[in-house]
Amino acid sequence: MSEVRVRIAPSPSGNLHIGTARTALFNYLFAKKNNGKFILRIEDTDALRTQQAYVDNIFDSLKALGLNWDEGPDIGGPYGPYTQSKRFDIYPKYIQTLLDKGFAYECFCTPEELEAEKEEAAKNKKAYVYTRKCVNLTEEEKEKLRAEGRKPAIRFNVQKAQAAFHDSSILSFEDLVKGHLHMDTNLIGDFVIMKSNGAPTYNYAVVIDDALMHITHVIRGEDHISNTYKQILIYEALGFEVPKFGHLGMILAPDRSKLSKRHGATAVSDFVKEGYLTEALVNFVALLGWSPSDGQEIKSIDEIAKDFRIEDLSSSNSIFEYDKLKWMNSHYIKMLPIEDLKERLKPYLTMYPLDELTDAQYTKMVEITREPLTLLSDITDAVPYFFGKDVKIEPDAQAKTLDTEVSQSVLKDFVSKAQDWEWTEENLEEKLAQFRADWKANEGIKPKVTMWAIRAAVTGRTCGADMVGILEILGKDTSLYRAKKAIK
């Protein structure tokens, strides 16, 4: 069997979409599983919508997800270039072959004429297919049209190609995911393969590139099935080997509509900005269409690669459950080694003077605040009280806690006693336990009420991280300064 070669071929008209990331992942996994090659090709034939920033975003996002390619625009490979706009000298040659064989023809129709055709079809309530007005133009007629200044587009002759390679008008193929698929090619109009300005269209360029890059399996979204029929005909007309196709179900939002920005992030880079770990994203999107054989959903990309079989991909649509992704993300945050987590949290702590903390203090801070984090970005709101001398007291902490008589008495006692405490974790643990016990024994105050007073004064909040850890990180001076300040 020849080497498996698969590709992801994004169009840089936006940041890398999470759906494209899933397609890339399944291609990557299929390549890994079969010791094959995973190729990145940039499909930038639509110059108007292409932006370099999007190309960069595609590169960065795929890399961040760990979907490293074996051949691509940046690293080259034996069948480059891997950017369509750099391949414009390749496309005309095969257009000529198709023209010579009669599988393509020049079409001189103007946009206005085509528009009129479409309106006519709409008026008669018919699905529009090109009328094939130009299929049998004589050389003289073409010359005349050229003399009028018209530049032809090139159309593919669907019926001729179908008749040359098939017994009927039905074109069928075995889809790796969806099984047997077929279509009546009479319903496919002769489509444009090269525009009058010389730019190749998607369906044409994709075939030339996939064929010349020796792509063996094309795995992509089911929205491309209608294109696949057109592409198979081009492969056949040019005598290229037709690759195997696998079409994935779509990703839908929880309300079953198309996933869009109104549901939440859709670009990989936006998920990352929001505080999702790329490992969680990979694990989550793998489960949109694939299920592990052992039912164990939490899996690293390498574990998924071992277990992955294209036959196991589901042909139905998947629902993008943001809540499940969040749950998965919090799980991944819990599993991260502390040093790794410390690094990954830094982008979300840029508003704080992190250098006020020693490395040991920063480690401690992360240790005692990591538990409730769902997103890495949750750290931002979890830690303001670790910085600076003063603390902002939240209204709730003031009214419900600090303003009470009990809290005021507790704080006065705390300040006078803690003055003499040795400020180490072990000792603070012991002293605070004693302090709580004394207030319970002497005044009948519940331990948690005693602690609320200290917490509200020192952190400005009614709940948060482990109190001993907080006091230790803040140090005696700042802790007692804040406690004193809360006393009226």
Contact 41, 83 (CB under 8 A): yes
Q: Any idea which residues carry the catalytic annotation?
A: 261
Residue 235 CB, nearest approach to ligand GLU (Å):
13
Nearer to ligand GLU, 33 or 224 (CB): 224
* Segment near ligand GLU (CB under 6 A); pick from 3-11, 28-36, 166-174, 192-200: 3-11
The encoded tokens of residue 27 equal: 């291609």
350: left (phi over 0), alpha (psi -120 to 50) or beta: alpha
Residue 2 CB, nearest approach to ligand GLU (Å):
20
Binding ligand GLU (rule: CB under 6 A), the pick from 32, 195, 224, 244 is 224
Nearer to ligand GLU, 160 or 220 (CB): 220
Binding ligand GLU (rule: CB under 6 A), the pick from 4, 9, 171, 281 is 9
Nearer to ligand GLU, 45 or 329 (CB): 45
| Cα 336–chain centre separation | 21
Query: How does DSSP assign 248-302, residue by residue?
Result: EPPEE-TTSSB--GGGS--BHHHHHHHT--HHHHHHHHHTTT---TTS-----HH
* Segment near ligand GLU (CB under 6 A); pick from 7-15, 170-178, 249-257, 390-398: 7-15
Distance (Å, whole) CA 118 – CA 111: 10
End-to-end Cα, the chain, rounded Å: 82
Residue 206 CB, nearest approach to ligand GLU (Å):
5
CA angle in degrees (0–180, nearest 5) for 329-334-340 = 95
* Contact string (CB under 6 A) for ligand GLU, positions 164-203, x = contact: ----------------------------------------
Nearer to ligand GLU, 43 or 71 (CB): 43
Residue 11 CB, nearest approach to ligand GLU (Å):
4
Contact 193, 155 (CB under 8 A): yes
Q: How many CB atoms lie within 10 A of CB 448?
A: 9
Peptide bond into 81 cis (omega under 30): yes
Nearer to ligand GLU, 195 or 224 (CB): 224
Residue 150 CB, nearest approach to ligand GLU (Å):
29
Nearer to ligand GLU, 46 or 430 (CB): 46
Nearer to ligand GLU, 5 or 220 (CB): 220
Residue 230 CB, nearest approach to ligand GLU (Å):
11
Nearer to ligand GLU, 194 or 206 (CB): 206
Residue 246 CB, nearest approach to ligand GLU (Å):
11
* Segment near ligand GLU (CB under 6 A); pick from 5-13, 193-201, 268-276, 468-476: 5-13
- What residues contact 354, with CB distance under 8 A and at least 6 apart? 346, 362
With residue 421 as reference, give the H or E element that holds it.
none
With residue 241 as reference, give the H or E element that holds it.
none
* Segment near ligand GLU (CB under 6 A); pick from 8-16, 66-74, 116-124, 362-370: 8-16
Contact 382, 373 (CB under 8 A): yes
Binding ligand GLU (rule: CB under 6 A), the pick from 37, 220, 431, 461 is 220
With residue 157 as reference, give the H or E element that holds it.
none
With residue 174 as reference, give the H or E element that holds it.
strand 170-175
* Segment near ligand GLU (CB under 6 A); pick from 4-12, 30-38, 244-252, 331-339: 4-12
Residues that bind ligand GLU (rule: CB under 6 A) add up to a total of: 7
**Site for ligand GLU, residues 314 to 343, rule: CB under 6 A:** none
Residue given tokens 């108007």 in the structure block: 48
11 belongs to the binding site for ligand GLU (CB under 6 A): yes
The encoded tokens of residue 60 equal: 């960065």
Residue 219 CB, nearest approach to ligand GLU (Å):
8
CA angle in degrees (0–180, nearest 5) for 125-128-131 = 120
Residue 359 CB, nearest approach to ligand GLU (Å):
45
* Segment near ligand GLU (CB under 6 A); pick from 9-17, 85-93, 306-314, 471-479: 9-17
3-state secondary structure (DSSP) of residue 6 = strand
Contact 54, 15 (CB under 8 A): yes
Nearer to ligand GLU, 9 or 259 (CB): 9
Binding ligand GLU (rule: CB under 6 A), the pick from 4, 5, 6, 10 is 10
206 belongs to the binding site for ligand GLU (CB under 6 A): yes
3-state secondary structure (DSSP) of residue 444 = coil
Distance (Å, whole) CA 80 – CA 212: 9
**Site for ligand GLU, residues 41 to 80, rule: CB under 6 A:** 43
Q: How many CB atoms lie within 10 A of CB 261?
A: 9
Contact 414, 483 (CB under 8 A): yes
Distance (Å, whole) CA 213 – CA 72: 11
- Which positions lie near ligand GLU, rule CB under 6 A? 9-11, 43, 206, 220, 224
